[in-house]
Structure 1
Protein backbone atom coordinates (compact mmCIF):
# COMPACT_ATOMS: atom_id res chain seq x y z
CA UNK A 1 0.00 0.00 0.00
CA UNK A 2 2.17 2.85 -1.18
CA UNK A 3 1.77 5.88 -3.33
CA UNK A 4 3.82 8.88 -4.34
CA UNK A 5 2.32 12.34 -4.50
CA UNK A 6 1.71 13.94 -7.86
CA UNK A 7 1.94 17.65 -8.51
CA UNK A 8 -0.94 19.96 -9.31
CA UNK A 9 -1.63 20.70 -12.97
CA UNK A 10 -2.94 23.88 -14.51
CA UNK A 11 -6.10 23.86 -16.56
CA UNK A 12 -4.95 23.49 -20.17
CA UNK A 13 -8.03 23.19 -22.35
CA UNK A 14 -9.82 26.43 -21.52
CA UNK A 15 -12.26 25.82 -24.37
CA UNK A 16 -13.86 23.15 -22.21
CA UNK A 17 -15.28 25.95 -20.04
CA UNK A 18 -17.21 27.30 -23.01
CA UNK A 19 -18.27 24.31 -25.12
CA UNK A 20 -21.09 22.37 -23.46
CA UNK A 21 -22.16 18.94 -24.63
CA UNK A 22 -25.77 20.10 -24.89
CA UNK A 23 -28.37 17.60 -25.98
CA UNK A 24 -31.63 19.15 -27.12
CA UNK A 25 -34.74 17.23 -26.12
CA UNK A 26 -36.21 16.68 -29.52
CA UNK A 27 -39.92 16.93 -28.73
CA UNK A 28 -42.25 18.88 -30.96
CA UNK A 29 -44.69 21.36 -29.42
CA UNK A 30 -47.61 18.97 -29.92
CA UNK A 31 -45.97 15.61 -29.21
CA UNK A 32 -47.47 13.89 -26.16
CA UNK A 33 -45.19 12.44 -23.49
CA UNK A 34 -45.90 10.99 -20.07
CA UNK A 35 -45.90 13.63 -17.39
CA UNK A 36 -43.34 11.85 -15.18
CA UNK A 37 -40.95 11.78 -18.15
CA UNK A 38 -41.56 15.50 -18.73
CA UNK A 39 -40.77 16.28 -15.08
CA UNK A 40 -37.60 14.16 -15.12
CA UNK A 41 -36.41 15.63 -18.42
CA UNK A 42 -36.99 19.11 -17.00
CA UNK A 43 -34.36 18.22 -14.39
CA UNK A 44 -36.68 18.44 -11.39
CA UNK A 45 -36.31 14.86 -10.16
CA UNK A 46 -36.37 11.24 -11.33
CA UNK A 47 -39.43 9.67 -12.96
CA UNK A 48 -40.12 7.59 -9.85
CA UNK A 49 -39.96 10.67 -7.64
CA UNK A 50 -42.19 12.50 -10.13
CA UNK A 51 -44.85 9.84 -9.63
CA UNK A 52 -44.83 10.64 -5.92
CA UNK A 53 -45.40 14.34 -6.61
CA UNK A 54 -48.24 13.47 -9.01
CA UNK A 55 -49.95 11.13 -6.54
CA UNK A 56 -49.67 13.77 -3.81
CA UNK A 57 -51.51 16.33 -5.94
CA UNK A 58 -48.47 18.60 -6.24
CA UNK A 59 -48.47 18.74 -10.06
CA UNK A 60 -50.51 21.15 -12.17
CA UNK A 61 -50.91 21.15 -15.94
CA UNK A 62 -52.29 24.36 -17.43
CA UNK A 63 -53.56 25.40 -14.00
CA UNK A 64 -55.31 22.09 -13.20
CA UNK A 65 -54.09 19.59 -10.60
CA UNK A 66 -53.39 16.15 -12.09
CA UNK A 67 -53.05 12.95 -10.06
CA UNK A 68 -53.26 10.33 -12.81
CA UNK A 69 -49.82 8.78 -13.31
CA UNK A 70 -50.45 8.05 -16.97
CA UNK A 71 -51.32 11.65 -17.84
CA UNK A 72 -49.67 12.87 -21.02
CA UNK A 73 -48.60 16.44 -21.68
CA UNK A 74 -47.11 18.43 -24.53
CA UNK A 75 -44.02 20.58 -24.60
CA UNK A 76 -46.12 23.72 -24.94
CA UNK A 77 -48.19 22.90 -21.82
CA UNK A 78 -47.57 24.79 -18.58
CA UNK A 79 -46.36 22.24 -16.01
CA UNK A 80 -45.88 23.28 -12.38
CA UNK A 81 -44.46 20.93 -9.73
CA UNK A 82 -44.60 21.94 -6.07
CA UNK A 83 -44.86 25.58 -7.12
CA UNK A 84 -41.99 25.48 -9.63
CA UNK A 85 -42.69 26.12 -13.31
CA UNK A 86 -40.90 23.56 -15.51
CA UNK A 87 -39.79 23.54 -19.11
CA UNK A 88 -37.85 21.11 -21.31
CA UNK A 89 -34.41 22.64 -21.48
CA UNK A 90 -31.47 21.06 -23.30
CA UNK A 91 -29.54 18.68 -21.08
CA UNK A 92 -26.37 20.26 -19.66
CA UNK A 93 -23.59 18.49 -17.73
CA UNK A 94 -20.88 20.18 -15.63
CA UNK A 95 -17.95 18.95 -13.55
CA UNK A 96 -17.03 21.25 -10.66
CA UNK A 97 -13.90 21.18 -8.48
CA UNK A 98 -15.69 22.16 -5.26
CA UNK A 99 -13.86 24.37 -2.78
CA UNK A 100 -13.93 24.07 1.01
CA UNK A 101 -16.66 25.95 2.90
CA UNK A 102 -19.01 25.73 -0.09
CA UNK A 103 -22.50 24.29 0.45
CA UNK A 104 -23.78 21.59 -1.91
CA UNK A 105 -27.21 23.05 -2.52
CA UNK A 106 -28.88 25.35 -5.02
CA UNK A 107 -29.52 28.04 -2.37
CA UNK A 108 -28.86 28.59 1.31
CA UNK A 109 -31.07 30.38 3.84
CA UNK A 110 -27.98 31.60 5.72
CA UNK A 111 -26.60 33.21 2.56
CA UNK A 112 -23.47 31.03 2.60
CA UNK A 113 -21.55 30.31 -0.60
CA UNK A 114 -23.12 27.45 -2.58
CA UNK A 115 -21.93 25.36 -5.51
CA UNK A 116 -24.28 27.42 -7.67
CA UNK A 117 -22.23 30.49 -6.81
CA UNK A 118 -19.15 28.69 -8.12
CA UNK A 119 -20.76 28.10 -11.52
CA UNK A 120 -22.69 31.37 -11.67
CA UNK A 121 -23.33 32.42 -15.29
CA UNK A 122 -21.95 29.08 -16.48
CA UNK A 123 -25.11 28.26 -18.37
CA UNK A 124 -28.53 29.73 -18.99
CA UNK A 125 -30.11 26.52 -17.70
CA UNK A 126 -30.90 25.45 -14.16
CA UNK A 127 -28.74 22.53 -13.03
CA UNK A 128 -28.67 20.51 -9.83
CA UNK A 129 -25.89 18.78 -7.86
CA UNK A 130 -25.63 15.01 -8.28
CA UNK A 131 -25.42 13.93 -4.65
CA UNK A 132 -23.66 15.95 -1.99
CA UNK A 133 -20.24 16.81 -0.63
CA UNK A 134 -20.31 18.22 2.88
CA UNK A 135 -19.15 21.76 3.53
CA UNK A 136 -15.58 20.83 4.47
CA UNK A 137 -15.09 18.25 1.70
CA UNK A 138 -13.54 19.40 -1.54
CA UNK A 139 -13.30 17.79 -4.94
CA UNK A 140 -15.32 16.47 -7.83
CA UNK A 141 -19.02 17.24 -8.04
CA UNK A 142 -21.30 16.75 -11.05
CA UNK A 143 -24.21 19.08 -11.81
CA UNK A 144 -26.87 18.50 -14.45
CA UNK A 145 -30.52 18.99 -15.35
CA UNK A 146 -30.72 15.38 -16.60
CA UNK A 147 -32.99 14.04 -13.85
CA UNK A 148 -32.90 10.38 -14.91
CA UNK A 149 -29.10 10.30 -15.04
CA UNK A 150 -28.71 12.09 -11.71
CA UNK A 151 -31.12 9.72 -9.98
CA UNK A 152 -29.43 6.58 -11.27
CA UNK A 153 -25.93 7.80 -10.46
CA UNK A 154 -27.05 8.29 -6.86
CA UNK A 155 -29.03 5.04 -6.61
CA UNK A 156 -27.15 2.33 -4.68
CA UNK A 157 -28.16 -0.41 -7.12
CA UNK A 158 -25.80 1.03 -9.77
CA UNK A 159 -22.75 0.95 -7.45
CA UNK A 160 -21.06 4.07 -8.82
CA UNK A 161 -17.41 4.29 -7.72
CA UNK A 162 -16.19 7.30 -5.75
CA UNK A 163 -12.52 7.74 -4.83
CA UNK A 164 -11.31 10.00 -2.02
CA UNK A 165 -8.00 11.34 -0.83
CA UNK A 166 -8.13 11.25 2.96
CA UNK A 167 -5.87 12.93 5.51
CA UNK A 168 -6.26 11.86 9.14
CA UNK A 169 -5.31 13.38 12.48
CA UNK A 170 -3.36 10.24 13.43
CA UNK A 171 -1.78 7.91 10.85
CA UNK A 172 -3.61 4.65 10.24
CA UNK A 173 -1.55 1.48 10.28
CA UNK A 174 -1.43 -0.93 7.38
CA UNK A 175 -3.52 -3.36 9.43
CA UNK A 176 -6.17 -0.69 10.02
CA UNK A 177 -6.28 0.18 6.32
CA UNK A 178 -6.62 -3.50 5.48
CA UNK A 179 -9.65 -3.62 7.76
CA UNK A 180 -11.37 -1.23 5.34
CA UNK A 181 -10.78 -3.81 2.59
CA UNK A 182 -12.28 -6.57 4.74
CA UNK A 183 -15.18 -4.38 5.86
CA UNK A 184 -16.01 -2.73 9.15
CA UNK A 185 -19.28 -2.44 11.05
CA UNK A 186 -20.84 1.01 11.42
CA UNK A 187 -24.04 1.94 13.27
CA UNK A 188 -26.04 1.79 10.02
CA UNK A 189 -24.48 -1.39 8.68
CA UNK A 190 -21.23 -2.75 7.25
CA UNK A 191 -18.96 -0.54 5.16
CA UNK A 192 -16.16 -1.58 2.85
CA UNK A 193 -13.35 0.25 1.09
CA UNK A 194 -11.62 -0.66 -2.17
CA UNK A 195 -8.19 0.11 -3.62
CA UNK A 196 -6.90 1.47 -0.33
CA UNK A 197 -3.48 3.06 -0.93
CA UNK A 198 -1.33 4.87 1.65
CA UNK A 199 1.06 7.64 0.58
CA UNK A 200 4.74 6.68 1.04
CA UNK A 201 5.91 10.14 2.09
CA UNK A 202 2.85 11.04 4.17
CA UNK A 203 1.49 8.31 6.49
CA UNK A 204 -1.38 10.62 7.45
CA UNK A 205 -2.80 10.40 3.91
CA UNK A 206 -4.36 7.58 1.91
CA UNK A 207 -6.74 7.06 -0.99
CA UNK A 208 -9.79 4.82 -0.91
CA UNK A 209 -12.72 4.03 -3.18
CA UNK A 210 -16.27 3.26 -2.08
CA UNK A 211 -19.39 2.27 -3.98
CA UNK A 212 -21.90 3.79 -1.57
CA UNK A 213 -23.20 7.27 -0.88
CA UNK A 214 -24.12 7.09 2.78
CA UNK A 215 -23.92 10.29 4.83
CA UNK A 216 -20.38 11.06 6.09
CA UNK A 217 -19.31 7.52 5.18
CA UNK A 218 -15.55 8.13 4.82
CA UNK A 219 -15.40 10.25 7.96
CA UNK A 220 -17.26 7.61 9.98
CA UNK A 221 -15.04 4.83 8.65
CA UNK A 222 -11.97 6.74 9.84
CA UNK A 223 -13.60 7.47 13.20
CA UNK A 224 -14.03 3.70 13.59
CA UNK A 225 -10.26 3.59 14.21
CA UNK A 226 -10.35 6.31 16.86
CA UNK A 227 -9.10 9.25 14.82
CA UNK A 228 -10.61 11.97 12.65
CA UNK A 229 -10.44 13.18 9.07
CA UNK A 230 -8.65 16.51 8.83
CA UNK A 231 -8.88 16.84 5.04
CA UNK A 232 -11.15 15.06 2.57
CA UNK A 233 -11.19 15.40 -1.20
CA UNK A 234 -13.16 13.44 -3.80
CA UNK A 235 -10.73 12.87 -6.68
CA UNK A 236 -12.78 10.52 -8.87
CA UNK A 237 -16.46 9.89 -9.55
CA UNK A 238 -17.84 7.32 -11.99
CA UNK A 239 -14.58 7.29 -13.94
CA UNK A 240 -14.29 11.09 -14.13
CA UNK A 241 -11.34 12.89 -12.52
CA UNK A 242 -10.26 16.44 -11.66
CA UNK A 243 -7.45 16.47 -14.22
CA UNK A 244 -6.75 20.04 -15.37
CA UNK A 245 -9.61 21.55 -13.31
CA UNK A 246 -8.25 23.87 -10.57
CA UNK A 247 -9.99 24.36 -7.24
CA UNK A 248 -13.16 26.39 -7.58
CA UNK A 249 -13.29 26.01 -11.36
CA UNK A 250 -15.48 23.84 -13.58
CA UNK A 251 -15.82 22.48 -17.09
CA UNK A 252 -18.58 21.01 -19.25
CA UNK A 253 -18.53 17.26 -19.72
CA UNK A 254 -17.54 16.06 -23.14
CA UNK A 255 -20.00 14.10 -25.28
CA UNK A 256 -18.24 10.77 -24.79
CA UNK A 257 -18.14 11.35 -21.02
CA UNK A 258 -21.88 11.97 -20.91
CA UNK A 259 -22.65 8.82 -22.87
CA UNK A 260 -20.23 6.74 -20.80
CA UNK A 261 -22.15 7.82 -17.69
CA UNK A 262 -25.49 7.01 -19.31
CA UNK A 263 -24.30 3.56 -20.41
CA UNK A 264 -22.94 2.91 -16.92
CA UNK A 265 -26.43 3.32 -15.43
CA UNK A 266 -28.24 1.64 -18.33
CA UNK A 267 -29.72 4.71 -20.00
CA UNK A 268 -29.81 5.18 -23.75
CA UNK A 269 -26.97 7.24 -25.19
CA UNK A 270 -27.58 10.66 -26.71
CA UNK A 271 -26.89 11.61 -30.30
CA UNK A 272 -25.43 15.09 -29.93
CA UNK A 273 -25.02 15.49 -33.67
CA UNK A 274 -28.77 15.22 -34.09
CA UNK A 275 -29.47 17.37 -31.04
CA UNK A 276 -31.16 14.75 -28.91
Structure 2
Protein backbone atom coordinates (compact mmCIF):
# COMPACT_ATOMS: atom_id res chain seq x y z
CA UNK A 1 0.00 0.00 0.00
CA UNK A 2 1.53 3.39 -1.02
CA UNK A 3 2.74 5.68 1.79
CA UNK A 4 3.51 9.39 1.64
CA UNK A 5 7.27 9.89 1.51
CA UNK A 6 7.46 12.17 4.55
CA UNK A 7 5.53 9.65 6.66
CA UNK A 8 7.77 6.85 5.37
CA UNK A 9 10.96 8.74 6.26
CA UNK A 10 9.64 9.70 9.70
CA UNK A 11 8.60 6.12 10.43
CA UNK A 12 11.90 4.67 9.23
CA UNK A 13 14.22 7.11 11.00
CA UNK A 14 12.41 8.49 14.04
CA UNK A 15 12.56 12.01 12.59
CA UNK A 16 9.61 14.32 13.11
CA UNK A 17 7.41 14.99 10.08
CA UNK A 18 8.86 18.51 9.90
CA UNK A 19 12.43 17.18 9.94
CA UNK A 20 11.48 14.60 7.31
CA UNK A 21 10.02 17.36 5.12
CA UNK A 22 13.23 19.33 5.51
CA UNK A 23 15.37 16.34 4.49
CA UNK A 24 13.17 15.84 1.43
CA UNK A 25 13.37 19.53 0.53
CA UNK A 26 17.17 19.43 0.81
CA UNK A 27 17.32 16.61 -1.75
CA UNK A 28 18.67 14.06 0.73
CA UNK A 29 15.91 11.50 0.09
CA UNK A 30 15.65 9.34 -3.04
CA UNK A 31 13.28 6.66 -4.31
CA UNK A 32 14.93 4.10 -6.57
CA UNK A 33 17.91 6.43 -6.92
CA UNK A 34 15.90 9.51 -7.92
CA UNK A 35 15.45 12.55 -5.64
CA UNK A 36 11.89 12.94 -4.38
CA UNK A 37 9.59 15.88 -3.81
CA UNK A 38 7.13 16.55 -1.03
CA UNK A 39 3.90 14.74 -1.82
CA UNK A 40 5.54 11.76 -3.53
CA UNK A 41 4.51 8.28 -2.39
CA UNK A 42 6.44 5.08 -1.78
CA UNK A 43 5.18 1.79 -3.22
CA UNK A 44 5.78 -1.59 -1.60
CA UNK A 45 8.63 -2.55 -3.94
CA UNK A 46 10.40 0.84 -3.91
CA UNK A 47 13.89 1.35 -2.47
CA UNK A 48 14.28 4.51 -0.37
CA UNK A 49 17.54 6.11 0.74
CA UNK A 50 18.42 8.98 3.06
CA UNK A 51 21.86 10.50 2.49
CA UNK A 52 22.58 7.50 0.27
CA UNK A 53 21.76 4.90 2.93
CA UNK A 54 18.75 2.56 2.59
CA UNK A 55 15.94 3.11 5.08
CA UNK A 56 12.73 1.23 5.83
CA UNK A 57 10.04 1.57 8.49
CA UNK A 58 10.15 -0.91 11.32
CA UNK A 59 7.50 -3.57 10.88
CA UNK A 60 5.03 -3.21 13.73
CA UNK A 61 3.89 -6.52 15.10
CA UNK A 62 0.29 -7.21 16.05
CA UNK A 63 -1.04 -9.26 18.94
CA UNK A 64 -4.67 -9.82 19.87
CA UNK A 65 -6.45 -11.65 22.66
CA UNK A 66 -9.52 -13.76 21.84
CA UNK A 67 -12.01 -15.22 24.29
CA UNK A 68 -12.52 -18.53 22.51
CA UNK A 69 -15.91 -20.21 22.92
CA UNK A 70 -16.15 -24.00 23.16
CA UNK A 71 -16.58 -25.74 19.81
CA UNK A 72 -13.92 -23.80 17.89
CA UNK A 73 -10.54 -25.22 16.91
CA UNK A 74 -7.26 -23.28 17.01
CA UNK A 75 -6.20 -23.92 13.43
CA UNK A 76 -6.93 -22.68 9.93
CA UNK A 77 -8.36 -25.98 8.74
CA UNK A 78 -11.19 -27.00 11.00
CA UNK A 79 -11.87 -30.22 9.06
CA UNK A 80 -15.58 -29.56 9.31
CA UNK A 81 -15.46 -27.63 12.59
CA UNK A 82 -15.55 -23.88 13.07
CA UNK A 83 -12.16 -22.27 13.66
CA UNK A 84 -11.08 -19.28 15.72
CA UNK A 85 -10.53 -17.42 12.44
CA UNK A 86 -14.29 -17.54 11.84
CA UNK A 87 -14.56 -15.16 14.81
CA UNK A 88 -12.03 -12.66 13.44
CA UNK A 89 -12.04 -10.14 10.58
CA UNK A 90 -9.82 -10.94 7.59
CA UNK A 91 -7.13 -8.47 8.69
CA UNK A 92 -6.21 -10.82 11.56
CA UNK A 93 -6.18 -14.08 9.60
CA UNK A 94 -2.39 -13.93 9.14
CA UNK A 95 -1.83 -14.04 12.91
CA UNK A 96 -0.86 -17.35 14.49
CA UNK A 97 -2.19 -18.72 17.79
CA UNK A 98 0.24 -18.82 20.71
CA UNK A 99 -0.17 -22.33 22.05
CA UNK A 100 -3.50 -24.09 21.80
CA UNK A 101 -6.83 -24.66 23.49
CA UNK A 102 -8.59 -27.86 22.47
CA UNK A 103 -11.94 -27.73 20.73
CA UNK A 104 -14.02 -28.21 23.88
CA UNK A 105 -12.06 -25.68 25.95
CA UNK A 106 -12.66 -21.94 26.12
CA UNK A 107 -11.05 -18.73 27.24
CA UNK A 108 -7.91 -16.76 26.56
CA UNK A 109 -6.05 -17.44 23.33
CA UNK A 110 -3.40 -15.07 21.98
CA UNK A 111 -2.71 -14.60 18.27
CA UNK A 112 0.36 -12.76 17.01
CA UNK A 113 2.81 -12.23 14.16
CA UNK A 114 5.60 -11.55 16.68
CA UNK A 115 7.76 -14.68 16.71
CA UNK A 116 9.85 -13.49 19.66
CA UNK A 117 6.76 -12.95 21.80
CA UNK A 118 5.37 -16.36 20.87
CA UNK A 119 8.67 -17.99 21.82
CA UNK A 120 8.84 -16.16 25.16
CA UNK A 121 5.33 -17.31 26.02
CA UNK A 122 5.64 -20.94 24.98
CA UNK A 123 9.26 -22.05 25.42
CA UNK A 124 9.64 -24.14 28.60
CA UNK A 125 12.67 -22.18 29.82
CA UNK A 126 10.52 -19.08 30.36
CA UNK A 127 8.00 -21.02 32.51
CA UNK A 128 5.08 -18.67 31.89
CA UNK A 129 2.21 -19.19 34.32
CA UNK A 130 -1.19 -20.16 32.94
CA UNK A 131 -4.40 -20.16 34.98
CA UNK A 132 -7.57 -22.13 34.21
CA UNK A 133 -11.00 -22.63 35.73
CA UNK A 134 -12.33 -26.18 35.46
CA UNK A 135 -15.44 -28.14 36.41
CA UNK A 136 -15.26 -31.87 37.17
CA UNK A 137 -17.94 -34.52 36.74
CA UNK A 138 -17.45 -35.69 40.34
CA UNK A 139 -16.23 -34.28 43.63
CA UNK A 140 -12.43 -34.27 43.80
CA UNK A 141 -11.27 -36.36 46.72
CA UNK A 142 -8.96 -34.50 49.16
CA UNK A 143 -6.33 -37.22 48.74
CA UNK A 144 -6.32 -36.72 44.98
CA UNK A 145 -5.99 -32.96 45.38
CA UNK A 146 -3.02 -33.51 47.68
CA UNK A 147 -1.44 -35.94 45.22
CA UNK A 148 -1.74 -33.43 42.38
CA UNK A 149 -0.51 -30.45 44.41
CA UNK A 150 2.29 -32.14 46.32
CA UNK A 151 3.72 -34.76 44.01
CA UNK A 152 2.20 -34.41 40.55
CA UNK A 153 0.71 -37.21 38.48
CA UNK A 154 2.76 -39.45 36.22
CA UNK A 155 1.53 -39.42 32.61
CA UNK A 156 2.85 -41.16 29.51
CA UNK A 157 4.91 -38.07 28.60
CA UNK A 158 6.22 -37.31 32.09
CA UNK A 159 5.05 -36.06 35.47
CA UNK A 160 2.30 -33.43 35.39
CA UNK A 161 2.79 -30.64 37.93
CA UNK A 162 -0.38 -28.66 38.63
CA UNK A 163 -1.59 -26.49 41.50
CA UNK A 164 -5.30 -26.73 42.39
CA UNK A 165 -7.37 -24.28 44.44
CA UNK A 166 -11.04 -24.85 45.26
CA UNK A 167 -13.48 -22.33 43.75
CA UNK A 168 -16.73 -23.59 45.30
CA UNK A 169 -18.03 -25.78 48.11
CA UNK A 170 -19.27 -28.38 45.62
CA UNK A 171 -15.77 -29.81 45.26
CA UNK A 172 -16.21 -29.84 41.49
CA UNK A 173 -15.03 -26.31 40.63
CA UNK A 174 -11.30 -25.65 40.72
CA UNK A 175 -8.69 -23.14 39.66
CA UNK A 176 -5.66 -24.77 38.05
CA UNK A 177 -2.29 -23.03 37.83
CA UNK A 178 0.51 -24.48 35.74
CA UNK A 179 3.74 -23.56 33.98
CA UNK A 180 3.81 -26.37 31.46
CA UNK A 181 1.74 -26.64 28.32
CA UNK A 182 1.55 -30.22 27.13
CA UNK A 183 -1.31 -31.41 24.95
CA UNK A 184 -4.54 -31.77 26.99
CA UNK A 185 -2.41 -31.91 30.14
CA UNK A 186 -5.10 -30.86 32.62
CA UNK A 187 -7.69 -33.23 31.19
CA UNK A 188 -5.24 -36.15 31.08
CA UNK A 189 -4.07 -35.50 34.64
CA UNK A 190 -7.59 -35.67 36.04
CA UNK A 191 -8.51 -38.61 33.79
CA UNK A 192 -5.58 -40.54 35.28
CA UNK A 193 -7.38 -40.29 38.64
CA UNK A 194 -10.80 -41.21 37.25
CA UNK A 195 -12.31 -37.75 36.69
CA UNK A 196 -13.66 -36.09 33.56
CA UNK A 197 -13.27 -32.34 32.99
CA UNK A 198 -16.64 -31.09 31.76
CA UNK A 199 -15.56 -27.44 31.42
CA UNK A 200 -12.14 -25.85 31.00
CA UNK A 201 -11.59 -22.11 30.62
CA UNK A 202 -8.23 -20.30 30.51
CA UNK A 203 -8.22 -16.92 32.26
CA UNK A 204 -4.51 -15.98 32.40
CA UNK A 205 -1.45 -16.53 30.20
CA UNK A 206 1.72 -14.91 31.55
CA UNK A 207 0.92 -11.23 32.08
CA UNK A 208 -2.20 -11.41 29.88
CA UNK A 209 -5.59 -11.62 31.61
CA UNK A 210 -9.00 -12.33 30.11
CA UNK A 211 -10.82 -10.05 32.56
CA UNK A 212 -14.22 -8.91 31.21
CA UNK A 213 -13.71 -9.80 27.54
CA UNK A 214 -16.98 -11.30 26.28
CA UNK A 215 -16.90 -14.84 24.91
CA UNK A 216 -16.34 -14.74 21.15
CA UNK A 217 -14.88 -11.21 21.24
CA UNK A 218 -11.29 -10.07 20.82
CA UNK A 219 -9.17 -7.04 21.65
CA UNK A 220 -5.80 -5.70 20.62
CA UNK A 221 -2.91 -6.13 23.04
CA UNK A 222 -0.66 -3.07 23.28
Q: TM-score, normalised by structure 2?
A: 0.70
- Supply the distance in 1 between the matched residues of 2:176 and 2:78 (Cα, whole angstroms): 34
Equivalent positions of 1:180-195 (< 5 A) are 180-182=148-150, 183-194=152-163
* 2:85–2:93 CA contact under 8 A, matched in 1: no
Q: Larger Cα Rg: Structure 1 or Structure 2?
A: 2
Q: Work out which of the residue numbers 188, 191, 209 in structure 1 matches 2:177.
A: 209
- Supply the distance in 1 between the matched residues of 2:122 and 2:155 (Cα, whole angstroms): 21
Q: Work out which of the residue numbers 63, 77, 82 in structure 2 matches 1:93.
A: 63
Change in Cα spacing, 1:198 to 1:152, as seen in structure 2 (3 Å) is same
Unaligned runs of 5+ in 2: 1-10, 14-43, 47-57
Aligned to 2:211, the other structure's residue is in SS state coil
Aligned to 1:227, the other structure's residue is in SS state coil
Q: How many aligned positions are there?
A: 170
Equivalent positions of 1:77-156 (< 5 A) are 89-105=59-75, 107-108=76-77, 110-121=79-90, 123=91, 126-156=94-124
Task: Give the aligned CA root-mean-square deviation in angstroms.
Answer: 2.1
Q: Which has the higher contact order (CA 8 A, sep 6+)?
A: 1
Unaligned runs of 5+ in 1: 1-25, 29-74, 78-87, 255-276
- Supply the distance in 2 between the matched residues of 1:27 and 1:171 (Cα, whole angstroms): 59
Change in Cα spacing, 1:149 to 1:76, as seen in structure 2 (3 Å) is farther
- Supply the distance in 2 between the matched residues of 1:229 and 1:109 (Cα, whole angstroms): 23
Shift of 1:234: 0.7
* 2:66–2:109 CA contact under 8 A, matched in 1: yes
Which is richer in strand? 2
* 2:168–2:174 CA contact under 8 A, matched in 1: no
Shift of 1:225: 1.1
